[in-house]
């Protein structure tokens, strides 16, 4: 059948068969019985499982291809942006299955543009920008290298610009501003404390609703490293 390669864990679905038949055939090729029905249920494809795959949408066929990789537990599994276009439930199931495979001994090499996905799943990651590896390590280690961020919520929308100017003056960097939440975020010296920050804001005559210090998100790590890929991380 075109699209099937015996011995391969991942294949393109054969469109003249139903989704259920595709998974059953693949399971039998690997002497694994009929696990296909269970996987269709887990990944929200059961309702379409008995329809010919050629009637499915492109997104559904892509999900079926991904589900087929979970028929077996290979020693090494390569996944290229596996959750693109998936809803929250299917995405959560993919994450759960990847964790199960890794816990059982499968080495998973995953490419993704979703930093929250890398944060959830990666024991070790490599950040690539313009074809060049700019950093590697565990998510926690990379966050620790960046330092900490302060979030300041302006008292009113009209105060947002003045609020942003204060921490921007401390660091010389341009803060990130979220007008919808009246939020200013900027990377600061890890030795800074909330009382220190509040005193500086008070001295500048800026009233705020809230001030907090937090670790950076992996998105912020990525943006920082790819903005200055040839510079040492300064904290």
Per-residue pLDDT, averaged over 42-71, amounts to 83
Confidence category of residue 159, pLDDT binned at 50, 70, 90: confident
Which CATH class, in words, describes the domain spanning 148-214?
A: alpha beta
pLDDT, tens only, 78-104: 889 888 877 887 788 788 888 888 888
Dig out the tokens for 198 from the structure: 């509040």
Give the C-alpha distances (Å, rounded to integers) separating 108 from 20, 72, 92, 111: 26, 13, 17, 10
pTM metric for this prediction: 0.69
pLDDT confidence of residue 228: 58
Per-residue pLDDT, averaged over 159-185, amounts to 87
Name which residue leads in pLDDT, 37 or 206.
Answer: 206
The answer to whether residue 235 scores a pLDDT higher than 80 is no
Give me the residue spans of the domains in the chain: 148-214
Closest CA to 217 of 119, 123, 133, 121: 119
Per-residue pLDDT, averaged over 132-140, amounts to 94
């Amino acid at each position: 059948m075109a699209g099937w390669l015996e011995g391969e864990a991942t294949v393109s679905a054969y469109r003249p068969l139903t989704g259920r038949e595709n998974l059953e055939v693949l399971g039998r090729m690997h002497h694994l019985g009929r696990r296909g029905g269970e996987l269709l249920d887990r990944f929200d494809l059961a309702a379409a499982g008995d329809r010919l795959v050629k009637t499915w949408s492109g997104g559904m066929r892509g999900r079926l291809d991904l589900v087929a990789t979970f028929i077996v537990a290979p020693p090494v599994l390569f996944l290229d942006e596996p959750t693109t276009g998936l809803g929250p439930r299917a995405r959560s199931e993919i994450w759960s299955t990847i964790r199960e495979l890794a816990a059982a001994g499968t080495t998973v090499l995953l490419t993704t543009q979703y930093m929250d996905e890398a944060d959830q799943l990666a024991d070790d990651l490599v950040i690539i920008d313009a074809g060049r590896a700019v950093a590697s390590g565990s998510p926690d280690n990379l966050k620790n290298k960046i330092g900490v961020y302060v979030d300041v919520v302006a008292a009113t929308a009209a105060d947002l610009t003045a609020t942003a100017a204060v921490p921007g003056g401390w660091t010389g960097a341009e803060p990130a501003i979220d007008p919808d939440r009246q939020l200013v975020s900027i990377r600061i010296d890890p030795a800074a404390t909330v009382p220190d920050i509040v005193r500086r804001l008070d001295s500048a005559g800026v009233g705020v609703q809230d001030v907090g210090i937090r670790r950076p998100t992996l998105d912020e790590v990525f943006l920082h490293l790819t903005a200055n890929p040839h510079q040492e991380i300064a904290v």
